[in-house]
Chains A and B, each alone.
Chain A
Amino acid sequence: MLSVKGLKANVGDKEILRGLDLEVAPGEIHAIMGPNGSGKSTFAHVLSGREGYEVTAGSAKLDGTDLFELEPEERARLGLFLAFQYPVELPGVNNMYFLKAALNAIRKSRGEDEFDAVSFMRLMKEKLKVLHLDDSLLKRPVNFGFSGGEKKRNEIFQMAMLEPKLAILDETDSGLDIDALRIVADGVNALRSPERSMIVVTHYQRLLDYIEPDYVHVLAKGQIIRSGGKELALELEEKGYGWIVDGEAA
């Protein structure tokens, strides 16, 4: 599904990613953990095509297609989804209207029929049910005036609607209380499928209590310095990052 090889990327003159390798197979959930400034968010942004990052070496392929050749919207249409750490507010833009436009842009690019209002509503209701969400957020402008928890739930709802092949959750747990965290995690779990892969970027282990990853990677100084199963996350929780990072350095 996703194959990242020797990825190096700069922000300005500063090298943030320094040769990152990652292979994600269909249906797998990979957690990427690491201390602040290790390059976790940069990795998520570089994959989704945000401006302000310069890829200097390496490649990232989604089902064999080079992501770096594509515009952000083309990556989305290919099946990549980024759940934002800080979802952006779009005042005046109705949430449902936004989702319908996005979904139809994706469908159109794949040569599929665009949804009319009726079939879109039907799909929406179905997804709300799967995620145990109510429709209160849908009539409001996108993320505008949403609480932190509402914003994250909205991200998960968008993910459900757009049905990506690969979803990247960038610090989805940040700023959430335990109840909101559970709602979001339940949503993510409901969207697990053998065809869908996920990369969960997080600083803390607690999200992984709810979303059980197949693999855990530790990112430090722009490289993955250790990979393991979910027990690695527990070890990190207990000992902190210091022992691995310093161990590497020494």
Chain B
Amino acid sequence: MSAIPAEAIRAENQADSSGQYDDLVNAGYEHGFVTEIESDTLPPGLDETVVRAISARKGEPEWMTEWRLSAYSKWLEMPTPTWAAVHYPPIDYQAISYFSAPKKKDGPKSLDEVDPILLETYEKLGIPIEEQKALAGVAVDAVFDSVSVATTFRKTLHEAGVIFCSISEAVQEYPELVQKYLGTVVPPTDNFYTGLNSAVFTDGTFVYVPKHTRCPMELSTYFRINTANTGQFERTLIVADEGSYVSYLEGCTAPQRDENQLHAAVVELIALDDAEIKYSTVQNWYPGDENGKGGIYNFVTKRGDCRGHRSKISWTQVETGSAITWKYPSCILRGDDSVGEFYSVAVTKGRQQADTGTKMIHLGKNTSSTIVSKGISAQHGQQAYRGLVRIAARAAGARNHTQCDSLLIGDKSSAHTFPYIEVKNPSAKMEHEATTSKISDDQLFYCRSRGLSEEDAVSMIVNGFCKEVFNELPMEFAVEAQKLLSISLEGAVG
């Protein structure tokens, strides 16, 4: 993201009631527990040796090691971005341990061989990694800390020709695909965190859908940060070849911790001619305690490249967790007639801060993009929508529709909107709508006078507010997201 100073719409909350529903908001974080499992962890600190050590432990080929080292040397020169509307103490990158893998004996071949403690953790989280999930048609590549420990339904996918594996495996088994696409959407030098990620990424997911193939199931990966003080540097690369389709679901939870945990993931999507990628995220990392202590820093770079003509990339995100979110899933609309979409619900409460939005870069002719952003702030929650729509000179007939709504709860929360619009082709059609509203006392009283509890009323109004986004989620995920939102906002209203 470049920091382009532009028109900023600021919407401060001017409510009258104060803190009367705080007890309801303070419903504890449900997923706060720590699994006791031995970790093979590198000592804290980062230098060239550490980068080499990570690469060596993963048994990577020479080219991969070189790629990391080159990223590392460039990262050393890069400044931390400071333009986002978030505040946190400087991060000591030498205090972080850059590798942590659950110790495994010979590597599990099936779920039976997976460490039962791990499975128990997943079950506590309600992650249905086992047969039920398989029956539901979802293949899960579960990432526990940094190394994939279980993969299901690989076979069905294999028969369809779809490659769905950890990025480490892909480096070993499909080096030519990885070399061809890795870093082509998000180069290591893109920003500070992508530089860091490129140097030290430990694992992540690789998906390749061959030409004219519709992926036979929704692909799903659950990430979970576990070992204390271990940064998570996930790397995801999804390539949809010509005329293919894939839907990918990503969901996250993390156990309660004292120290801040850095998460700097990179996700790259590539859609070739007539291909479509749908990428959905439900993010529920530990947001910190009510004073903001101990939450996850979620500094993620997600970008999709509609490289082919008539290709489509759609991002849907529901962000309820993390202490700080810095995230702008974007689309580069390179191919003619390509389509980019961004649907987002972001919730900040307690001391959570989020600076999130998207970038739609229109390069091809007749490209179109849709942005629907719903921000909800409660208690001391701080939120900024930051979105860039750029229409390049050659992008004749480009269209964008942006809708950006903020809902404020209580009198201490705030929402800000920073829409950047750059149009260099006069044929572009641009629409921008923005609203800021509050859950009003009238609305709450109306619901309560019909017999609904205050919590139910809030959850109903908030879910109504987010409906357009939830409609974009796969059914199963939509239900989960709705539930998550209700839990997150229990009683957050005043």
Is B452 on the interface with A (CB-CB < 8 A)?
A: yes
Contact flag A88-B442 (CB < 8 Å), given A93-B461, A98-B460: yes
Q: How far apart are the CA atoms of A162 and B450 in the complex, in Å? A: 8
Report A52 CB to chain B, min CB distance, Å: 8
**Contact present for A109 and B451 (CB under 8 Å):** yes
Contact between B451 and A91, CB atoms less than 8 A apart: no
List which A42-97 residues lie within 8 A (CB) of chain B: 48-51, 71-73, 75-77, 81-82, 84, 87-94, 97
| Interfacial chain B residues near A105, Cβ < 8 Å | 451-453, 456
Q: Which residue of B lies closest to A45 (CB)?
A: B445
0/1 string, B443-463, CB within 8 A of A gives 1: 101111111111010001101
10 A-B pairs closest in CB distance: A92-B464, A93-B464, A76-B451, A88-B446, A102-B450, A72-B448, A106-B451, A73-B448, A105-B451, A92-B467
With A92-B466, A101-B456 already in contact, 16 other A-B pairs whose C-beta atoms are closer than 8 Å: A50-B445, A50-B449, A51-B445, A72-B445, A77-B451, A88-B440, A88-B442, A88-B446, A90-B464, A91-B465, A92-B465, A92-B467, A93-B463, A98-B450, A105-B453, A106-B451
**Can you name the residue of chain A whose Cβ is closest to the Cβ of B439?**
A90
- Count residues on chain B whose CB falls below 8 Å from chain A CBs: 22
In the assembled complex, 28 residue pairs joining A and B whose CB atoms fall closer than 8 Å, in A order, are A48-B449, A49-B448, A50-B445, A50-B449, A71-B448, A73-B451, A73-B453, A84-B449, A88-B443, A88-B446, A89-B443, A90-B443, A90-B460, A92-B461, A92-B464, A92-B466, A92-B467, A94-B464, A97-B460, A98-B460, A101-B452, A101-B456, A101-B460, A102-B450, A102-B451, A109-B451, A141-B464, A162-B450
Chain A residue numbers with a CB within 8 Å of B38 are none
Q: Which residues in B have some Cβ–Cβ distance to A below 8 Å? A: 440-443, 445-454, 456, 460-461, 463-467
Q: Which residue of B lies closest to A84 (CB)?
A: B446
Instruction: Tell me, rounded to whole Å, the shortest Cβ–Cβ distance linking A19 to chain B.
Output: 25
At the interface, yes or no: A158 with Cβ under 8 Å from chain B? yes
A98: nearest chain-B partner, CB-CB: B460
Distance of A229 Cα from B466 Cα, bound (Å): 51
What is the CA–CA distance of A81 and B465 in the complex, to the nearest angstrom? 26
The CA of A133 and the CA of B58, in the complex, are separated in Å by: 69
What residues on B are CB-neighbors of A97 within 8 Å?
A: 460
Whether the Cβ atoms of A73 and B464 lie closer than 8 Å is no
**Cβ-neighbour of A102 out of B441, B452, B461 (below 8 A):** B452
Q: Which residue of A lies closest to B459 (CB)?
A: A101
Cβ–Cβ contact B456 & A93, under 8 A: no
Q: Is the CB of B451 within 8 A of A90?
A: no
**Separation in Å of the A161 CB from the closest CB of chain B?**
10
Query: Which residue of the partner chain B has the closest CB to A144?
Result: B464
Nearest CB of chain B from residue A49's CB, rounded to whole Å: 7
| Bound Cα distance from A136 to B447, whole angstroms | 21
Complex contacts, A87 vs chain B, CB 8 Å: 446
| Minimum distance in angstroms from B448 CB to a CB of chain A | 4
Rounded to whole Å, the gap between the CB of A158 and the closest CB of chain B is: 7
Chain A nearest CB, measured from B32 CB (Å): 30
**How many angstroms from the CA of A73 to the CA of B453 in the assembled complex?**
6
Counting chain A CB atoms within 10 Å of each CB, the highest count among B442, B452, B461, B463 belongs to B452
Count chain A CB atoms within 10 A of each CB in B441, B446, B467 and give the residue with the most.
Answer: B446
Q: For residue B446, which residues in chain A have a CB less than 8 angstroms away from its CB?
A: 84, 87-88, 90
Task: Give chain B nearest CB distance to A237 CB in angstroms.
Answer: 30
Within the complex, the shortest CB–CB distance from B80 to chain A, in Å, comes to: 38
Contacts of A102 in B (CB 8 A): 447, 450-452
| Inter-chain contacts of A88 with B (CB < 8 A) | 440, 442-443, 445-446
- Choose among B442, B456, B464 the residue that contacts A91 (Cβ–Cβ < 8 A): B464
Say whether B460 contacts A76, CB under 8 Å: no
Closest-CB distance, A97 to chain B (whole angstroms): 8
Nearest chain-A residue to B470 (Cβ)? A92
> In angstroms, how far is the closest chain B Cβ from the Cβ of A71?
7
Q: Which of B450, B452, B466 has the most CB of A within 10 A?
A: B450
- Alpha-carbon distance A92/B460, docked complex (angstroms): 9
Which of A73, A75, A94 has a CB less than 8 Å from the CB of B452? A73
Complex interface: chain A residues within 8 A of B456 (CB)? 101, 105
Q: How many Å lie between the Cα of A201 and that of B342 in the bound state?
A: 49
Residues of A within 8 A of B466 (CB): 92
Say whether A93 contacts B460, CB under 8 Å.
yes
Contact present for B449 and A72 (CB under 8 Å): yes
Docked CA distance A73–B443 (Å): 13
A107 to B, closest residue via Cβ = B451
Contacts of A84 in B (CB 8 A): 446, 449
Cα-based distance from A102 to B447 in the complex (angstroms): 8
A76 touches B448 (CB 8 A): yes
* B residues near A93, Cβ cutoff 8 Å: 460-461, 463-464
Bound form: Cα–Cα A68–B447 in Å: 18
Residues of B within 8 A of A101 (CB): 452, 456, 460
Contacts of A82 in B (CB 8 A): 449
In whole angstroms, how far apart are the Cα atoms of A186 and B446 in the complex?
Answer: 24
Cα distance, A77 to B452, chains bound together (Å)? 9
A9-59 CB contacts (< 8 Å) to partner B: 48-51
CB pair A162–B464 under 8 Å, yes or no, is no
- Contact of B450 with A76 in the complex, beta carbons under 8 Å: yes
- Which residues of A are found within 8 Å of B464, using beta-carbon distances? 90-94, 141
Closest-by-CB residue of A relative to B467 is: A92
Complex contacts, B463 vs chain A, CB 8 Å: 92-93
